[in-house]
Amino acid sequence: MMSCSLLLAGCSTVGYYAHIMNGHYDLMESEEDIEDILISNKYDAAVRLKLSRALEIRRFASDKLGLPDNDSYKTFVKLNRSYPVWNIIAAEKFSVNARQWCFLFVGCISYRGYFNEKDAEAKAKVLKDEGYDVTVSPAAAYSTLGWFDDPLLSSMLYKEETHLAGIIFHELAHQKVYIDDDSSFNEAFATTVELEGVRRWLEAQGDAVGIKKYRQYKQHQRDFNDLLQATRNQLNSLYKTQKEETMLFAGKKQIISTMKLEYKKNKRQWEGYSGYDNWMQRDINNADMALVATYHELVPAFEALLEQQKYNLDLFYAEVSRLGRLPKTRRSSALERLNSEKVAIY
């Protein structure tokens, strides 16, 4: 699942702006202080335990990871739906590059978020009718980039504790460094902080079993992302070299079919792990490939940078900020050089 930084994004229309503001404030009306919840014993014991652990994770984020020390994730909102937001990603029928939406304050980003699923599906239909490949992806969390204190949402509590920790670290990383007009930079940076943060959290807990399990999960994720990136590269090559539309459609279908076969081969090495089965059973299109690039393509570059700074997070953040101040072409060149080093944290 992906996160989204959508609040105060400005808008291309007054209606969209109103939707974003109203959606956020609707959630804030249900906001409760987590400490008060724990004192009053509101909600069942399982939820209270997760909320208590969330506060510990939140303190760890600021004390040990150097992430912003504010009131984000110290309050709780119980949703009346499965997810807070749904993101639309669109790409042209013969392109793996995401359509960009440009907003005030955050610049251009690779997705457009909605607090209402029906509104997201309606916009997706419009884009499909215009000829775009489109995917609608639910998000368990979203970030206001520090403009407001973000709440912990019930959608963030569904999975294991490492998942919760990862979301908190990821979203706080967006508050630490955010570069306008560069979704891939921002998401890869936040993902790298998430990975390193969860590793350190598990080590601090002395959870040897958890560390082993997390490493296995992250290796599966890397294998999966590598497969998707290779597929994206093949599609990109096809779209650049082939001009006949019939051949383009046929080639696109064949490349995606091959990817699904390769996935089955990967699974044989995963000891039964099936976490990506539902995704692979979908009707995969260019928008899905664009989404992969936004979140994962540059992660090896940021991991290499973290290693260069000897895993000193303060130095890492300073270097990321320096890169972010470069003109985009120079920034991209620097990240390409780092990407060629391709180290892994684990």
Residues 203-259: tens digit of each pLDDT: 999 998 988 888 888 889 889 988 998 999 999 999 999 889 999 999 999 999 999
Contact criterion met (CB below 8 Å) for 132 and 329: no
pLDDT digits (tens, 9 = 90+) for 106-117: 678 888 999 999
Q: Tell me what the pLDDT averaged over the chain comes to.
A: 89
Beta partners for residue 138, in sequence order: 86
Render the burial of 178-197: b for 16+ CB within 10 Å, e for the rest.
Answer: bbeebbbbbbbbbbbbbbbb
Looking at residues 48-73, what average pLDDT do you find? 97
Alpha-carbon dihedral of residues 179, 65, 75, 167, nearest 10 degrees? Answer: 70
Looking at residues 186-205, what average pLDDT do you find? 94
Residue 11 confidence (pLDDT): 37
Whether 183 shows a pLDDT value over 50: the answer reads yes
pLDDT digits (tens, 9 = 90+) for 16-37: 778 888 888 888 899 999 999 9
Residue 5 confidence (pLDDT): 43
Contact criterion met (CB below 8 Å) for 214 and 196: no
User: Whole-model pTM?
Assistant: 0.83
Helix (H) or strand (E) holding 134: strand 133-139
Could you state, in order of their start, the residue ranges of all structural domains in the chain? 14-208, 216-339
At a CB cut-off of 8 Å and minimum separation 6, what does 168 contact? 54, 57, 58, 61, 73, 152, 156
